Each structure stands twice: as structure tokens, then as C-alpha cells.
Amino acid sequence: MFFDSIYLVDSFRNEPLSNGFVKFSIQQKKDNPLETRIENKASIYFDKNEPVVTNTVFHTIGEEFIEIKLISSTFNTQFNVKSIKVFPNPFREKTQIILDSDELENPSLMLINMQGQIVKVISSINKNTFNIEREDLSNGMYLFKIMEGDKEVGNGKIIVQ
């Protein structure tokens, strides 16, 4: 990448104003094993001088993130519920909730914010599966209830990042 015409102040004249900052993100290779170390550094060229090489930074896969498979859930035994799976959780763009139970007739999922307000009602895509798209959801924790008519089949929590 090239950033022409930045015109940072010379560090001899004003050291604080001579500093710059570039932030970027990359998508890692799929299925990197835990403990894979990803390193990065940059070379900065000022005019036609030799490059100034930055320190090497790194991130080790499996560090500094929160892994939450399913925070909590409860089941109504009337519907023979074995599990409720949410993946990914936390999520950024979309997540899926799969109910392992007897097939329901016409289930719906209520998504509820932490103030107790219903923010979305979602129909299932195949009786026991629900897709949640982020759309206008703010970051934070949400509760969900899976309903069959006026009966609660199960509930749980999800996190939007």
C-alpha cells in the first residue's frame, strides 16, 4: 500500500506530530490450528531514503478471544428437546439456532433485548432451525425464546459483536 502526500512533520522539529498510525485487518486462512502464530511487520519509506522497518507484532490463534458455545438454555420436556445449538455465538453478521427435538408444527423465535423488549420474531426455516441476521441489532447480549403457539419450547442467550 502506498500513502502519498501525508507530509508528517520532521521528528527533529516536533516528535509527537511526526508519528503516524495505520490500522488494518486481514482474514486468516481457514482451519488454522490452535497455537498458529501469525506475524506481521511493515517497511516505511520516507522520500527516497532506505526503509524504516517496524517491530514485528504477532497473534497466536487461540489467544485473546472469548469462546462461548452456548451460554445457557432451558428446555420444555413436552417437546422432547435434547439440545439447542447456537453457532456461531458470539456472532457478527448471522447465526443459526438448531433445536434438537421432535419436529414442531409452526415454531417461532422471539429475540429479546436486555430491557425485556421483543426486537425480532423469526419464523423457522425448516421447523427446528432459525437463522438470525444481524441487520439493525446493536452489539450486546440478547435472550431468545423458541415458541410453539403460546408454549415455550426452549430459551437461551446469544451475543452480537
> pTM for this one?
0.54
> Would you state the pLDDT for residue 43?
83
> Would you state the pLDDT for residue 125?
83
Backbone angles phi, psi at 46, to 5 degrees: -110, 120
Dump pLDDT digits (tens) for 135-151.
999 999 899 999 998 88
Cα–Cα distance for residue pair 152/156, rounded to 1 Å? 11
> Would you state the pLDDT for residue 21?
65
Kindly tell me the sign of the dihedral angle through the C-alpha atoms of 142, 30, 40, 21.
negative
> Would you state the pLDDT for residue 73?
57
Q: What is the mean pLDDT of the chain?
A: 81
DSSP SS3 for 30: coil
> Would you state the pLDDT for residue 1?
67
Dump pLDDT digits (tens) for 21-77.
666 677 777 788 878 888 888 887 777 788 888 878 777 776 544 333 334 456 667
C-alpha cell, 18: 511526526
Cα–Cα distance for residue pair 76/154, rounded to 1 Å? 6
> Would you state the pLDDT for residue 71?
40
Average pLDDT over residues 7-33: 74
